[in-house]
Amino acid sequence: MLPTIRPAVRALAIGLTAVLAASACGSTAGGEGPEFEGDTFDWKRYDGTSLNVYIADTGQVQALRDNLDEFTDLTGITVNIESADVTSYRQNLPVRLTSRASDFDVMATFPEVDGLQFASNGWYTDLGPYIDNPGVTDPEYDFEDFRTGVREAMKVDDQTITVLWEMQTDLVYYRKDLLEQAGLAVPTTFEEWAAAAEAVHDPDNRLYGFALRGIPYQTTTPFSSFLYAHCGQWVDDGGQAVINSPEAVEAYEVYGQLGNNYGPPGIAGFDWPVPSQQFAQGNVFAFLDVNLFVSELEDPSRSRVAGNVGYTTVPRADCDPAPFIGGWGYAINPFSEQRDASWYFIQWATSKQMNLDLKLTGWPSPRASAWESPEFAAGDPTPEFSQVVLDSTENARAQMNPPVTPGVEAREIAGLVANRALEGQTGDQLQQVADQQNEQLQGLLDAMQ
């Protein structure tokens, strides 16, 4: 009997493989732009529709859920939110998009990391035609309210592919009391920060001078501020990887020395929230990272340094400071069958009012009107922080990662040099790592051609 079964099994295996391969080769999904063409906007146009929103929870999801009834009252659209932590989300989303899943309509994306790859894979819906179509965009939406730098951060290849719900940018958090005890002014250069960190560094009493991220693919976010301040680049104008240039290597060395000399033990293994957690515990004098930690650090039930935190813009070196600007935003799944209704959700979730509501919970809004609103100004618990964030956006760059695909791999390649520097490598040894990693980054660039 076995010989008669064998061909059948073989045929089955081949058949299944063929079906999957065929489905992978299928036609592209959906068209670009809204189906509705007209100039009268009606919030109730998609009454009765149901939307699935799949997003990464960076801390904002609860506020979104709390307000969903308002959206349903306004539009008649019901929304189901599926959220995941950032790491799981990053791993699941591409797999679901690869299988052309249409079981979610709106998705979260971080253009700085996903952008190039998602765009080349056809995983974005161009939002430009939606924004420009008065029939599907509320006249009061005011897209210009997002500042130029923020609008740039929403684009890939000149197409707007997402609308940000947050605005991340780097800054330095420090302990005011310790700085005062050391009798120092707020540092403005990396050298001054190193001196201040040295002045307060006291490992015997578990007080460390400066904390940074250490895991390779996490380091590029804070490291970009070091890179730009030292006049370095990820990729030069000719499209060549230059993370081994003298400027970049100097930036890596400064990053590594600051963390290695004055950081808590094990800094090379620090994931992104660890510097802020150590700071909140009172173990760290200062750390440079994104602007997402304020509400946590100022909450006395979660932070031992609440009320004592100072904020300042990223330091300068040979070049002026240039913190990155970017963040998570909503995008429309191109395989969704309800793209127009999805856009309704996005414009509501990123409307002036929703941004202000989120802003009042301590979330960094990408809209100028939220920061400038009298309601926020009157109750702003940290005006110093707000000012620093607004100042940072003046000279920010929408590029915290090498503009290379795959984004996560490029981050890992460039970040490994920072990781090695945190382990104490300097000089020729570090240059050798940078050369090696630069070659790998160039390999990815070449593969993109």
Partner 1 sequence: MSQLTESPPAPPARPAGSGSMPPRRRPLLDWLDRYDRYILPAPAVIVVVAMLAFPIVYTIYLSFHQWSGGLRPPQWIGLDNFTRALTTGQFWGSLWRTAYFVILSVGLQVVIGVGAALLFHRRFPGRGIARTFFMFPMIATPAAVALVWKMMYDPTIGVFNYLVQSIGGPTLLWTSDANLVIPALAIVDTWMWTPLVMLIVLAGLAALPQEPFEAAKVDGAGPIRTFVSVTLPLLRPVLLVAVLFRLIDAIKTFDIIKVITDGGPGQASETLNLYAFKQGLSYLHFGYGSALLVFLTLLVFGVAIVFTHVRARTEEK
Residues 6 or more apart from 251 whose CB is under 8 A from it? Answer: 223, 226, 227, 229, 230, 232, 317
Interface with partner 1 by CB under 8 A: which range of 75-83, 239-247, 262-270, 292-300? 262-270
Among 116, 127, 215, 414, binds partner 1 (CB under 8 A): 215
**Contact residues for 267 (Cβ-Cβ < 8 A; gap 6+):** 211, 212, 214, 259, 260, 422
- Indicate whether 432 belongs to the interface with partner 1 (CB under 8 A): no
Q: Find the shortest distance in angstroms from Cβ 54 to partner 1.
A: 17
Residue (222 or 315) nearer to partner 1, CB: 222
Q: Which of 423, 424, 426, 431 binds partner 1 (CB under 8 A)?
A: 423
Tell me if the bond preceding 406 is cis, omega within 30° of 0.
Answer: yes
Interface region with partner 1, contact rule CB under 8 A, candidates 289-297, 300-308, 356-364, 401-409? 401-409
- If one asks whether residue 62 binds partner 1 (CB under 8 A), the answer comes out as no
Binding piece for partner 1, criterion CB under 8 A, among 52-60, 241-249, 278-286, 314-322: 278-286
Q: How far apart are CA 306 and CA 319, in angstroms?
A: 33
Residue 94 lies near partner 1 (rule: CB under 8 A): yes
| Residue 48 or 269 having the CB closest to partner 1 | 269
Q: Any contact of residue 138 with partner 1 (CB under 8 A)?
A: no
Smallest distance, partner 1 to C-beta of residue 217, A:
8
Which range binds partner 1 by CB under 8 A, 64-72, 211-219, 324-332, 354-362?
211-219
Strand order through the sheet with 50-56: 78-84, 50-56, 106-109, 329-332, 163-164
Rounded Cα distance, 337 and 319, in Å? 48
Asked if 319 interacts with partner 1 (CB under 8 A), we say no
Nearer to partner 1, 20 or 377 (CB): 20
**Smaller CB distance to partner 1: residue 128 or 282?**
282
Closer Cβ to partner 1, 115 or 264, answer by number: 264
Residue 47 or 446: the one with the smaller Cβ distance to partner 1 is 446
**129 interacts with partner 1 by CB under 8 A:** no
Closest C-alpha among 170, 158, 146, 172 to residue 329: 146
Residues 163, 350 contacting (CB under 8 angstroms): yes
- Whole-number minimum distance, CB 13 to partner 1, in Å? 5
Smallest gap from residue 416 Cβ to partner 1 (A): 6
The terminus-to-terminus CA distance of the chain in angstroms comes to: 53
- Which residues pair with residue 15 across a beta bridge? none
Under 8 Å between Cβ of 167 and 400: no
Residue 24 binding partner 1, by CB under 8 A = yes
| Sign of the dihedral defined by the CA atoms of residues 10, 16, 17, 21, in that order | positive
- Binding residue for partner 1 (CB under 8 A) from 139, 238, 265, 427? 265
| 269 binds partner 1 per the rule CB under 8 A | yes
Residue from 31, 38, 48, 122 touching partner 1 (CB under 8 A): that is 122
Choice from 214, 222, 329, 366 touching partner 1 (CB under 8 A) = 214
Say whether residue 377 binds partner 1 (CB under 8 A): no
Least Å distance, CB 369 to partner 1, is 37
* Residue 321 in the binding site for partner 1 (CB under 8 A): no
Closer by beta carbon to partner 1, 120 or else 148: 120
Which of 56, 136, 267, 349 touches partner 1 (CB under 8 A)? 267
Rounded Cα distance between 418 and 249, Å, is 9
Stretch in the footprint of partner 1 (CB under 8 A) among 1-9, 296-304, 356-364, 367-375: 1-9
Of positions 95, 185, 205, 378, contacts partner 1 by CB under 8 A: 95
- As a whole number of angstroms, the distance between CA 389 and CA 394 comes to 9
Rule CB under 8 A: which residues touch partner 1? Answer: 1, 5, 9, 12-13, 16-17, 20-21, 24-25, 28, 90-91, 94-95, 97-98, 117, 120-123, 206, 214-216, 264-269, 278, 281, 283, 406, 408-409, 412, 416, 419-420, 423
